């Protein structure tokens, strides 16, 4: 597609429920990234994909967080047993591999755990 | 590991004032450097970039020069407008992560008043 698409744009969930966040990157972009932006905080790296594999998942906060990417395209970030501290904006970005290529970000999913 | 330090905000300026937002970095080798901007209610956008020492990135009247000797990439604009009000993020991608992972600063909020 023309840009990075994320869905849903907003999600309110009850504590303890599971949520799935979706990212559809720009067609042809082989690298895909997930970041988290909490209120008043910077961007926290979560995980990145190169194709369907995840060379770096060091930023996932706990084993409640997981992500997958299929067909070198769409990615899903899953948060199990959500907690209030999971409330944040989850950002997805994609890029072409190589030094100096910036990211193209999606508009994010605002997750609120109540 | 790689890191980015940028001046804390908020920065409040009058229209047509000169803007400088300081950014310094720590990285091995020769990272690529970026400035991203997040306008109110919008996603992050790449503003400008520089991939080697002494390069100057520029866009929309903003400039930043890659200074290897001072490990800096300060953002400047000669005359700000109200429409420049946004949060600005300095970022880098370095050889440590194969240039595939971007590390962001915490962001500097700029408010321009008429």
Question: What is the average pLDDT value for chain B, to the nearest integer?
Answer: 93
Searching chain A, which residue's CA lies closest to the CA of residue B94? A99
CB pairs under 8 A between A and B: 57
Question: CB-based contacts of B12: which residues, under 8 Å, 6+ apart?
Answer: B111, B112, B113
B108 by DSSP, 3-state: which?
Answer: strand
**CA distances for A42 relative to A1, B71, B88, angstroms:** 28, 20, 10
CB contact under 8 A, B101 and A48: yes
Residue A111 to residue A85: CA distance in whole angstroms? 10
Count of CB atoms within 10 A of residue A7's CB? 14
* Nearest-CA distance A56 → chain B (Å): 9
A58 by DSSP, 3-state: which?
Answer: coil
CB contact under 8 A, B45 and A97: no
Tokens standing for residue A99: 């030094």
If DSSP states are collapsed to H, E and C, what string results for A18-29? CEEEEEECCCCC
CB contact under 8 A, B43 and A31: no
What's the pLDDT at A99?
Answer: 55
**A4-18, A81-95, B84-98: least confident range:** B84-98
Query: What secondary structure does DSSP assign to A71-111, as a single string?
Result: TTS-EEEEE-S--GGG-EEEEEEEE-SSTTPPPEE---EEE
CB B86 within 8 A of CB B30: no
pLDDT tens for B52-90 read 999 999 999 999 999 999 999 999 999 999 999 999 999
**CA distances for A92 relative to A38, A48, B13, B59, angstroms:** 14, 10, 32, 24
Searching chain B, which residue's CA lies closest to the CA of residue A50? B100
Instruction: Respond yes or no on whether the N-terminal peptide bond of residue A8 is cis (omega within 30° of 0).
Output: yes
* CA angle at A9 for the pair A103 and A60, rounded to the nearest 5°: 60
Q: Name the helix (H) or strand (E) containing A35.
A: strand A31-37
Is pLDDT at B3 greater than 70 in this prediction?
yes
Q: Tell me if chain B has a CB within 8 Å of the CB of A25.
A: no
Is pLDDT at A1 greater than 70 in this prediction?
no
Residue A16 to residue A21: CA distance in whole angstroms? 16
What's the pLDDT at A98?
Answer: 61
pLDDT tens for A6-37 read 999 999 999 999 999 999 999 988 889 999 99
What's the pLDDT at A79?
Answer: 98
Tokens standing for residue A104: 């193209």
């Amino acid at each position: 597609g023309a840009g990075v698409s994320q869905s849903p744009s907003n999600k309110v969930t009850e504590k303890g429920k599971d949520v799935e966040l979706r990212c559809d990157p720009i067609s042809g972009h082989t690298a895909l990234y997930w970041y988290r932006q909490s209120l008043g905080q910077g961007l926290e790296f979560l995980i990145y994909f190169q194709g369907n594999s995840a060379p770096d998942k060091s930023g996932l906060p706990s084993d409640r967080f997981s992500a997958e990417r299929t067909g070198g395209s769409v990615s899903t970030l899953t948060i199990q047993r959500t907690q209030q501290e999971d409330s944040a904006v989850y950002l997805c970005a994609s890029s072409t591999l190589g030094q100096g290529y910036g990211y193209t970000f999606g508009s994010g999913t605002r997750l609120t755990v109540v | 590991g790689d890191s980015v330090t940028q001046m804390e905000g908020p920065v409040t300026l009058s229209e047509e004032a000169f803007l400088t937002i300081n950014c310094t970095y720590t990285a091995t080798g020769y990272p690529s450097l970026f400035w991203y901007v997040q306008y109110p209610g919008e996603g992050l956008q790449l503003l400008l970039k520089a991939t080697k020492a002494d390069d100057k990135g520029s866009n929309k009247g903003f400039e930043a020069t890659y200074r290897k000797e001072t490990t800096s990439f300060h953002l400047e604009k000669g005359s700000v407008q109200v429409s420049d009000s946004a949060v600005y993020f300095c970022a880098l991608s370095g050889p440590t992560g194969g240039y595939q992972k971007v590390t962001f600063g915490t962001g500097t909020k700029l408010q321009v008043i008429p």
